[in-house]
Amino acid sequence: MNRLYHFPLSPFSRKVRLSLAEKRIEVELVEERYWEQDSDFLRRNPAGKVPVLRLGNKLLSESAAICEYLEETHPNPPLMPRDADSRFEVRRLVGWFDDKFYTECTQKLLGERVFRKVMGTGYPDSTNVKAGSRAMRLHLDYMTHLLEHRRWLAGNEMSLADFAAAAQLSCLDYISDVDWNRSEVLKDWYAKIKSRPAFRSLLADQVPGFLPPSHYANLDF
């Protein structure tokens, strides 16, 4: 049986879950408390990070590499465009959300508000929370700018760039940290992606001690 070692509010795990579901690859989800750095887990991924995918007899880590591998081995439905320029734009934006958005927003907001408590590392640092909220506004405006010129984030077809972005935003939406009133096009884009069958399992996630707001799993907001 294929297995994904993940954590429900890990955006990188969510990105891989979306790709797997879109490509109809069945996996068993195994929750991994990665901060405990269990020795079996470190054997599976010496980097000590989730997600880790066991696919047949292979162990795969690094979410961007996993998604590209799935794309090559299961090309339908495609999540990468065909021409080099469009592929470049998808990869640029996947990098943007995995790196810049994660560091500036997700780590600062989710890290302080949820993971400090889950990992038992003290109280939220309000300086980080404020910086995360400030950065969120800039990122939402950048996404709005892209979506005013394209149907999806990287072009006119849905791609891994949309999954990378939705994976981050959905984690922050779980803690009500996305101001959907800031942009109608962004809200429409998220409603579109959230209503895909691939998104269902993300909307059913629960982290004990943190209840999502009612709009989190509501497909019409």
Ligand X SMILES: N[C@@H](CCC(=O)N[C@@H](CS)C(=O)NCC(=O)O)C(=O)O
Which of 5, 12, 96, 163: binder of ligand X (CB under 6 A)? 12
Contact at 8 Å (CB) between 182 and 147? no
Report d(CA 116, CA 122) in Å as an integer. Answer: 6
User: Of residues 80-109, which lie at the interface with ligand X (CB under 6 A)?
Assistant: 98
For strands 58-61 and 28-31, give the pairing.
Answer: unpaired
Q: Which stretch binds ligand X (CB under 6 A): 7-15, 116-124, 159-167, 176-184?
A: 7-15
Is the dihedral angle over the CA atoms 93, 194, 48, 41 positive or is it negative?
A: negative
Is the dihedral angle over the CA atoms 172, 174, 176, 178 positive or is it negative?
A: positive
Query: Of 125 and 188, which CB lies nearer to ligand X in the complex structure?
Result: 125
Using CB under 6 A as the binding criterion, the count of chain residues that bind ligand X stands at 11
Site string for ligand X, 20-49 (x = CB under 6 A): --------------x-------------xx
Q: Is 156 exposed, middle or buried (0-12, 13-18, 19+ CB in 10 A)?
A: exposed
DSSP H helix total and E strand total for the chain: 10, 4
Query: Of 118 and 185, which CB lies nearer to ligand X in the complex structure?
Result: 118
Query: Of 168 and 183, which CB lies nearer to ligand X in the complex structure?
Result: 168
For tokens 């109280």, the residue is 123
5 binds ligand X (CB under 6 A): no
Beta bridge partners of 58: 55
Q: Is 209 exposed, middle or buried (0-12, 13-18, 19+ CB in 10 A)?
A: exposed
Which of 4, 27, 41, 62: binder of ligand X (CB under 6 A)? 62
Which of 4, 8, 10, 186: binder of ligand X (CB under 6 A)? 10
112 binds ligand X (CB under 6 A): no
Report d(CA 124, CA 117) in Å as an integer. Answer: 8
Contact at 8 Å (CB) between 173 and 109? no
Q: Which two tokens stand for residue 16?
A: 């891989």
CB of 176 to ligand X, least distance (A): 19
Which of 63, 168, 170, 183: binder of ligand X (CB under 6 A)? 63
CB of 72 to ligand X, least distance (A): 17
Which of 18, 50, 154, 193: binder of ligand X (CB under 6 A)? 50
- Residues of this chain that interact with ligand X (CB under 6 A) are 10-12, 34, 48-50, 62-64, 98
